[in-house]
Structure 1
Amino acid sequence: MPLSLRSRDLRDALVALVVFLVTAVWTLVVARYEPEPAGRTALGWALILTGCGALVLRRRQPVAVAVVTLLACAVYYPLSAQDGPLLIAFAVALYTTAAEGRFAAAVALAAVTLLAVGLGEIRQRPGHRQIDDTSLAMMAGWLISLVAVGRAQRNRVAYLREVEQRALAAEREQEARARQSATEERLRIAREVHDILGHSISLINVQSGAALHRLGKKPAAAQGLAAAEEALRAVRDTSKEALRELRATLGVLRGAGEAAPTAPASGLALLPELVERAASAGLEVRTRVGGTPVPLPPPLDLAAYRIVQESLTNVTRHAAARSVLVALDWGPDALRLRVEDDGGGAPDDRPAGSGIRGMAERARAFGGELTARNIPGGFRVDARLPFPPSAPTSASAPAPEIAPEGDSA
């Protein structure tokens, strides 16, 4: 049995015991001054036990208990000369009936009680009434008060239960939002780390492989030294940039007292360095800018940069391409990004990798869209990033310093 139900039953048993003790003490005291036949006394005690004992079930069967206590009182008072306070049992049962939501039954029992008492007094001979009109009116007010207080208690319990349910719902919603925020933050950090490390390690791998390939042909000492020096310099620059971006990304996990990174955040302003690193891996990178550049909010600026970065990473790792075009088209309400290569494209049956999914998630996070598909003679990544409503539309912002149309990095 649940603890709450067991505690409720114990309280009900305690109430029944208290009512029985009060009635029994009263009856024993009165019996010393008003004795009655043994049979009638035994019947009176049986009715007292029945009426008080029924209170143990007052919240399990409130209407039945109220009816039992009322019938016990209806038999007890006309027969017993001791007039113990058994009516308390009916009062508790009537209150419980209203408090448990059986308001109509409580009103009906109160009305029946008042009507029965009134009819009983009317049938008495003149001068033999037990309850006068004033006492009858007080009894009516007493019964009405019991029902009203029970109904008020019912409403109070319902209100407190509703408040508790709302508090629990709000707490669950807050926990769900916290979990969702934590999940989104973990995914965001995972995308950032994937884009940074995937791009940089891919370039380092290509540059190192190219150097080893040239050295494998056993060139002259001066040529071999120059090739190794060029490869090491490219690896150094690429790893340095990767470390810078990684520190900026992991800055969200800093302790409260740790200083923030001072390096500039990644964005389209760093696109020339990105193009230069891709070119150091042997790609011919062409850039094209159309329209009038506008300043972008930092999160949108970073998303555009990461899409270009991941696209160049995929070209370096998978496309076996010789050249790639990075095009930025600044429209009146959106930035269009396009990265095309002349590689062999992706197999039609190969599912999209985590890099393409990450780019698509970045675009969707700002209300945009991204497609990645094979085209005749290569592969194309096409993204549209809408400007936020507060974004400027003037040309006051500095444009990304990338090569003009047709030039290679």
Structure 2
Amino acid sequence: MTVRSRPWLLDAPIGLVIALVSIGTARVQATVVRQINPTMGPPWMQPRFRQHQVPFPPGVDLHEPYTWAAVVWSVLLGFGIAIRRVRPLVGYSITVIATTGYLAAGLPFGPVLLGPAIGLLALATRMPVRQWLPWGALLLPMIWAGFVGGDYAGLADPNFWTAIILGPPLIMVPALIATIRRIRSQESRRAHELELRRVAYQERLRIARDVHDLIGHSLSVINMQAGVALYVLDKDAAPAEDDHRVEESLQAIRSTSKNALDELRATLAVFRGEGTEPDTTGERAPVSGLARLSELVDTFRAAGRIVSVQVDGDLDDLPGPVDNAAYRVLQEALTNVARHAGDATATVLIARSAERLIIQVTDDGRRSSRAGSRADPQQPQGSGLIGMRERARAVGGDVTAGPRPEGGFSVRAEFPLRPSETAS
């Protein structure tokens, strides 16, 4: 049995301490009154109003009933505090009733007011403001009980109005603080949940981009290689040459499909046991990078495409996220050339400076009978350009694309490089 499972184990001692202090306070007041005037009893024992007290006959023990009244109400107060978290509304009501009786008996204001404050605090931690605040109205008659023995039921006492105006708000301070903390905690929890959803969405979006890029690229290459093989088998050429070119195309298909499957397994590993947590750092080891530039270009060249490459700058120490994004953008741009521009010549320009990395892919726009056209309505448009822009923006870059005035198409991507990321 722990405090967490039995909250009254902590609240009962608190109630006991407040009850004992309240009893002690009442006893001190009774003792002081008896020493000053042994025949002057507490106000609730007087037959007249408080300011017109009449001495009791000598020999009457005024101290004992005064103390017993404090004991009864203080014990009831402690019980209300002890059950405040088990039965918040019942506990608060008991503390208000006990405090009202305590004060109406002429016992002094003081630690007894902690009881309703603690009881109201329990309500505030479990109820919205609109539900617990009306219960604070019970504090008004409770405060009034401390003055009810005066003239005109205490209304003529100048301290009455001060107590009525300031008392309830001061007693509700702990409850108001608890409400503010609870609201902030709820807002923080909602913000955390929204952040988790955002991270999960970004992770799904990243996986979708990876799958689109590697599958789209690989299937495009396979399609090109299969087209070459079929074209060679159909045309009239020397058998030996035919066999050689068909073998090269089939080998390329085999290699490309194997690489695609390997990368697909790595990408989808996030759905297995070792990859259930979303990547929130952005530093996941990239599946690919510009170190595979030659391999990527050779894949297209093996399919009969003409690709020229010019690199200006060192590409070895690029930040991982930028390296991966740049490779995927380049891969998608070349795939679009092969898919839409047919036998067009592709030119790749890569320039790296201290501040940024620039990649530009252009084609001359030439077509063959086997190529589709970007303007062809029968060709699916896909989401290649959208995916390229998303990848670039994820690392602070951007992609612009459009037709060239002299013919063909151009894709330009820029990625910022921070010195702290590129330093070796």
Which TM-score band applies after superposition, normalised by the shorter structure? 0.5 to 0.7
1:103-182 alignment runs, 5 A limit: 114=150, 116-117=152-153, 150-182=168-200
- 1:392 match: 422
> Do the aligned partners of 1:284 and 1:322 also contact (CA within 8 Å) in 2?
yes
1:10-409 alignment runs, 5 A limit: 100=136, 114=150, 116-117=152-153, 150-217=168-235, 219-256=237-274, 265-293=287-315, 295-343=317-365, 346-347=374-375, 353-375=382-404, 376-392=406-422
The aligned amino acid for 1:266 is S
CA distance in 2, matches of 1:254, 1:196: 19
Q: 1:114 to 1:327 in 2, by over 3 A?
A: farther
CA shift for structure 1 position 254: 3.5
The aligned amino acid for 2:233 is L
Deviations 1:63-93 (A, max 9, x none): xxxxxxxxxxxxxxxxxxxxx99x69xx9xx
The aligned amino acid for 1:314 is N
Q: How many residues align?
A: 285
Deviations 1:29-82 (A, max 9, x none): xxxxxxxxxxxxxxxxxxxxxxxxxxxxxx9xxxxxxxxxxxxxxxxxxxxxxx
> Do the aligned partners of 1:101 and 1:151 also contact (CA within 8 Å) in 2?
no
Report the 3-state secondary structure (helix = DSSP H, G, I; strand = E; otherwise coil) of the residue aligned with 2:420.
Answer: coil
> Do the aligned partners of 2:402 and 2:410 also contact (CA within 8 Å) in 1?
yes
CA shift for structure 1 position 314: 0.6
> Do the aligned partners of 1:99 and 1:151 also contact (CA within 8 Å) in 2?
no
Deviations 1:143-168 (A, max 9, x none): 97787664344222222222221221
The aligned amino acid for 1:289 is V
Deviations 1:330-383 (A, max 9, x none): 122001100001126743999974111111111111111110100022100001
CA distance in 1, matches of 2:155, 2:219: 100
CA shift for structure 1 position 392: 3.2
The aligned amino acid for 1:382 is R
Larger radius of gyration: 1
> Do the aligned partners of 1:215 and 1:224 also contact (CA within 8 Å) in 2?
yes
Report the 3-state secondary structure (helix = DSSP H, G, I; strand = E; otherwise coil) of the residue aligned with 2:218.
Answer: helix
Q: Which has the higher contact order (CA 8 A, sep 6+)?
A: 1
TM value normalised by structure 1? 0.59
CA distance in 2, matches of 1:168, 1:225: 71
> Do the aligned partners of 1:363 and 1:385 also contact (CA within 8 Å) in 2?
yes
Report the 3-state secondary structure (helix = DSSP H, G, I; strand = E; otherwise coil) of the residue aligned with 1:326.
Answer: strand
Deviations 1:160-184 (A, max 9, x none): 2222212211111111111110000
Q: % of aligned pairs identical?
A: 41
What's the RMSD between the two structures over aligned residues? 4.2
Report the 3-state secondary structure (helix = DSSP H, G, I; strand = E; otherwise coil) of the residue aligned with 1:175.
Answer: helix
TM value normalised by structure 2? 0.57
> Do the aligned partners of 1:192 and 1:249 also contact (CA within 8 Å) in 2?
yes
